[in-house]
Every structure is written in C-alpha cells, then in structure tokens.
C-alpha cells in the first residue's frame, strides 16, 4: 500500500515508518520540521504544517492510507490555545484532504487521556479497572478535548463518505530512548505512587504493529481502541494497586493475569488479533535501569525509532 505518515519525526511516526517499510509498504513521511536537502533516503519526506489546508491538500493525493500521528502530545508544555489550534486543525485538514483524495483508511492517533482523568483541573478518577473503550468520557483539558473531537471528526467522515477510520488511544509511549526516565521511577516506587491511568504504558514497537494492522486490516466505519502493554509498569497486581490508592471507589473487573495492565486491549485483539509482546522488563532491570542490550541498540542507532528516522533523513 501507499501510506502517508504524519508526525514522521516523532517517536510514534518514526517507529511506524520502520514497521511499514519492513512490511513492504511505500511510505511518504510528513512533518512540520525541516527536511535535509541531500540525496533522498528510501522514504519521500515532505515538510508540511498540517494546520494549513493547502499543505494538507498538497501531500495527501496518491495514497491508499494515512497514519496521522502529528500533534503536540501533551497538555502541559504549550499554551492551551496552541494545543487546541494545532491538534484539532491538523486533524481536520488532514482528514478533509484524505477524503477528497479518495484515501481509503485513516488511522488517527488519539489518546488514553480522552476520558479526562489523566489531566483534570477538578479531580476525578476512572470508574473501573481495567479501563476500556466503554468508559464514560468527560475531558476538561485542551489536549484530551482535541483528541476526543478528533474521534468525532472520524465519526462524521465515515458517515458522509467511503473512508474508514481507526482511532487508537495509546497509553504512555515508551522506547529505549525514554523508558528509563519515564518508567524507571515507577519501577523503583514499587507501588507507592498513584497513577491516573492505572500504571499503564506501551512500548512503541508494539504500538507500531497495531498501527500497521489498523491501516491495512478490515474495518467497517470508525473503530476506537486502546493500546497498552499487557502488564503494569511496576509488575505489581493491578487489583491490589487500585485498592491501595483508590479504596472501594473504583470497581474492579476481571483481569487475564494478576499484574494485568490498567487498560484493557481486548478490543484490539478482537479486531486485529493484536496482543502486545513487549514489557518494560524487556528494556529495564528490577531497579528501572536500561538493560545492556537495550543500551547497545540505542548506542548503535538500531531501535525502531532510530531506524525510522534514518529512513527519512
Ligand atoms: N507519547 C505518548 O505517550 C502518547 C500517548 C498517547 C497518544 N499520543 C499521540 O501519539 C501521537 C504521536 O506522539 P509522539 O509521542 O510521537 O509525539 P512527538 O512529539 O514525538 O511527535 C509528534 C510529531 O508531530 C509533528 N507535528 C506536530 N504538529 C504538526 C503539524 N501541525 N504539522 C505537521 N507535523 C506536526 C512534530 O513536529 C513531531 O515531529 C500524537 O498524536 C500524540 O498525541 C502520544
């Protein structure tokens, strides 16, 4: 397939490009960051700011599918109006251009934050564990709102046209380059720290595999699904962690294993046969430090993210 990946210079975009190339797809990479004006690599890279309708209209034609990862990926490091304008309009213009260009499949990178309890101004928590796609949605922060509105844009597009869509809600995305900083302290806290998304995380290689299935697999209309690793980020039993930090206020639902993730990926498995294969234990030791083999991959530029970035440079 001819697949366009937006946000190609980011960790999810780059790992996705690596996965799609290894599956034999023809990839176009798009990001608002400048290109390198040298001999082209295996992937065509086009600089485009997707908040500009003209940029989106210029890059979309000629593709069978689009993976839209371009966004500001957090509510806390940019002014809210910038997050809102960037994320929502980039999704709007990319989707409009895809629809007009006859692109068949739109994979929209949404977020675990959509239900609202990750960054609320007025505190609330998830109602049950593990969280799944049926959880009520009530976002207060701008980032989660843009992702939720993005999901609604997908609903509208599949209703009015032949395009089909998948919104993937990844939890916290990890790779060799950030997991020691992000998950290391959770491992060392040994359950003492609270977590709004119930100690969930996902390794980017697994997420890229789900994205590849979502862009190529059979879909009717618009599907929304979570992506998380199979286990908790500290290896402790989910039900014990939730009881310890949330008392009886959170309903405990059955889990496939005691240390199951706080986010269920049963829907992704049902739709695409996807199950996460990677755990933090494949990258970190019991003290949360990067394992030597992961450190070597990073030093050698051999991670999925680095291979994807190398392909577009
Ligand atoms: N990182 C996470 O933990 C996480 C969790 C859930 C969802 N997500 C979502 O996954 C997607 C990818 O996240 P990431 O971690 O790779 O982020 P990232 O910041 O590493 O990469 C995002 C890329 O998008 C590009 N971009 C932003 N706005 C753009 C625009 N208007 N036009 C063109 N390019 C633009 C940036 O230049 C950057 O290269 C995002 O949509 C994010 O919201 C990320």
Does residue 289 lie in a domain region? no
Does residue 256 lie in a domain region? no
Question: What is the whole-number distance in angstroms between the Cα of residue 208 and the centre of ligand 1?
Answer: 14
* Best residue among 4, 57, 73 to mutate for probing ligand 1, ranked by most atoms within 8 Å of CB: 73
Beta bridge partners of residue 112, listed in sequence order:
none
* Structural contact between residues 149 and 88, judged by C-beta atoms closer than 8 angstroms: yes
Does residue 187 lie in a domain region? no
Q: Within a 10 A sphere around the Cβ of 293, how many other Cβ atoms?
A: 11
Question: What is the whole-number distance in angstroms between the Cα of residue 48 and the centre of ligand 1?
Answer: 14
Does residue 130 lie in a domain region? yes
Does residue 49 lie in a domain region? yes
pLDDT for 40 equals 84
- Local mean pLDDT, 10-residue blocks, the chain (313 residues): 98 98 98 93 95 98 98 98 98 98 98 98 98 98 98 98 98 98 98 98 98 98 98 98 98 98 98 98 98 98 98 93
pLDDT for 85 equals 98
- Ligand 1 atom with the smallest distance to the CA of 51 is 31
Question: What is the whole-number distance in angstroms between the Cα of residue 12 and the centre of ligand 1?
Answer: 7
Question: What is the whole-number distance in angstroms between the Cα of residue 221 and the centre of ligand 1?
Answer: 24
Does residue 210 lie in a domain region? yes
Distance CA 16, CA 308 (A): 7
pTM: 0.98
Does residue 143 lie in a domain region? yes
Question: What is the whole-number distance in angstroms between the Cα of residue 275 and the centre of ligand 1?
Answer: 23
Q: Which residues' Cβ are closer than 6 Å to ligand 1?
A: 6-7, 9-13, 31-33, 49-51, 69-73, 86, 90, 109, 111-112, 170, 172-173
Does residue 248 lie in a domain region? no
pLDDT for 42 equals 87
Domains contained in the chain, number: 1
pLDDT for 20 equals 98
What are the backbone dihedrals phi and psi of residue 4, each rounded to the nearest 5 degrees, phi first?
-100, 130
CA 9, 13, 16, 21 torsion: positive or negative? Answer: negative
* Best residue among 58, 70, 83 to mutate for probing ligand 1, ranked by most atoms within 8 Å of CB: 70
- Ligand 1 atom with the smallest distance to the CA of 74 is 43
Q: Which domain holds residue 118?
A: 2-175+203-230+264-278+304-312
Distance CA 37, CA 60 (A): 21
CA 280, 282, 285, 288 torsion: positive or negative? Answer: negative
Domain of 148, CATH number, reads 3.40.50.720
Q: Whose CA is nearest to atom 21 of ligand 1?
A: 10
- Ligand 1 atom with the smallest distance to the CA of 174 is 3
* Structural contact between residues 117 and 85, judged by C-beta atoms closer than 8 angstroms: no
Peptide bond just before 216 cis, omega within 30 deg? no
Question: What is the whole-number distance in angstroms between the Cα of residue 99 and the centre of ligand 1?
Answer: 22
pLDDT for 313 equals 87
Q: Whose CA is nearest to atom 20 of ligand 1?
A: 10
Question: What is the whole-number distance in angstroms between the Cα of residue 136 and the centre of ligand 1?
Answer: 25
Q: H/E/C letters for each residue in 154-167?
A: HHHHHHHCCCEEEE
């Amino acid at each position: 397939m001819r697949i366009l990946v937006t946000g190609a210079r980011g960790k999810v975009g780059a790992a996705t490009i690596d996965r799609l190339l290894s599956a034999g797809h023809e990839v176009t990479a798009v990001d608002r960051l400048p290109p390198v004006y040298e001999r082209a690599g295996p992937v065509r890279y086009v600089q485009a700011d997707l908040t500009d309708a003209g940029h989106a209209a210029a890059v979309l034609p000629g593709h069978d599918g689009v993976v839209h990862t371009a966004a500001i990926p957090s509510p806390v490091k940019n002014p809210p109006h910038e997050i809102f304008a960037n994320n929502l309009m980039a999704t709007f213009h990319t989707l409009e251009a895809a629809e007009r260009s006859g692109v068949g499949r739109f994979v929209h990178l949404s977020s675990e934050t959509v239900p609202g309890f990750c960054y609320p101004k007025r505190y609330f928590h998830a109602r049950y564990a593990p969280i799944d796609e049926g959880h009520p949605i009530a976002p207060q922060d701008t980032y989660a709102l843009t992702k939720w509105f993005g999901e609604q844009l997908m609903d509208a597009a599949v209703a009015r046209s032949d395009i089909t869509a998948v919104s993937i809600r990844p939890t916290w995305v990890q790779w060799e380059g950030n997991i020691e900083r992000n998950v290391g302290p959770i491992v060392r806290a040994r359950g003492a720290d609270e977590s709004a998304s119930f100690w969930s995380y996902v390794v980017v290689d697994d997420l890229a595999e789900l994205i590849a299935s979502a862009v190529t697999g059979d879909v009717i209309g618009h599907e929304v699904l979570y992506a998380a690793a199979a286990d908790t980020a500290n290896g402790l039993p989910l039900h014990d962690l939730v009881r310890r930090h949330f008392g009886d206020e959170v309903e405990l639902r059955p889990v496939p294993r005691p240390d199951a993730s706080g986010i269920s990926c049963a829907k992704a498995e049902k739709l695409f046969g996807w199950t996460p294969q990677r755990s933090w234990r494949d990258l970190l030791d019991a003290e949360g430090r990067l394992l030597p083999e992961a450190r070597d991959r990073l030093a050698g530029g051999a991670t999925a993210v680095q291979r994807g970035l190398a392909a577009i440079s």
